[in-house]
Amino acid sequence: MQRISSWTKLVGALGRFRYGTVTGGVAPTPIKAEWLNMVQEELANFILAYLPELDADDNAQLLKAIQAFGTNYPLKATTLAGYGILNAYTKPEADWLLSKKANNAITLAGYGIDDAYTKTVIDAALAAKQAAIDSLAATKQDKNTALMAATGWRLDKATGFLEQWGSGFCAPDTTTAPINFPVPFAEVYNCFGNKVTTNAVDSDGNAAGAFAASAKQYQLFNDTNANGVTIHWRAIGKAPGY
């Protein structure tokens, strides 16, 4: 994490944003894309550490990640008399956590543990927590999903990059009606196509291809005036929710 002063000298005291004045000739602190990207990645990395993926329709993901952090905080464990205790805890931190237990306590390695928590109960709880961590790790490692077919798509869940492809026929000197992409885009970056088999160059230049009609549909075109063609097309862009 860095203050805006790492990207511009037009800042106030302690590297903070400042107002500008037209009459005084003082420029305001500019909003730098680099700083916004840094803040975005800081937040996204924290959320992805505790949730499976980013969701553009959920504006409470940071809160959920913080709550998950609080729930999972004691899980990075070393061994303390056979029980998982976070090895990064200081003694005051451990004492504070344990103070939240019931006052009816026994002593385990110098720390108060509620006597309702038998070793069997604690071990079962820790096993369940570890299973949840393993499941989350497996979800994070599964970063790609795809439909591998002649007409298909591939999604990189880590970035939202969506790639799609297929083929279709286009009659001579025409443009097809809009055709649905296999999966709707949020934004199309590029869409193009080529003939499967070329013909002799005619007066129209033998051109054929594809273009995005919208984020949900594409069209094929064929400028040759004598031959219908099969066109392979490909489109890349951003998936919804990223």
**Structural domains present in the chain:** 4-51 (no CATH), 76-141 (no CATH), 146-238 (2.60.40.3940)
Alpha-carbon distance of 207 to 87, in angstroms, equals 66
Mean pLDDT of all residues in 36-59:
92
Distance, C-alpha 122 to centroid of its chain = 34
Report, as an integer, the average pLDDT of 125-148.
72
Helix (H) and strand (E) counts in the chain: 4, 13
pLDDT, tens only, 217-238:
999 999 888 888 899 999 999 9
Instruction: Read off the pLDDT of each residue in 158-169 and give the average, rounded to a whole number.
Output: 93
For range 136-150, the mean pLDDT: 70
pTM over 0.85? The answer is no
> For 172, which DSSP code?
T
Sheet of 152-156, strand order: 144-147, 152-156, 161-170, 229-238, 187-195
* Mean pLDDT of the chain, nearest integer: 80
Least confident of 35-44, 80-89, 114-123, 225-234: 80-89
Cα of 176 vs its chain's centroid, Å: 35
Cα–Cα distance, 199 to 25 (Å, whole number):
66
Q: Compute the radius of gyration of the chain from its Cα atoms.
A: 29
Looking up tokens 């860095």 gives 2
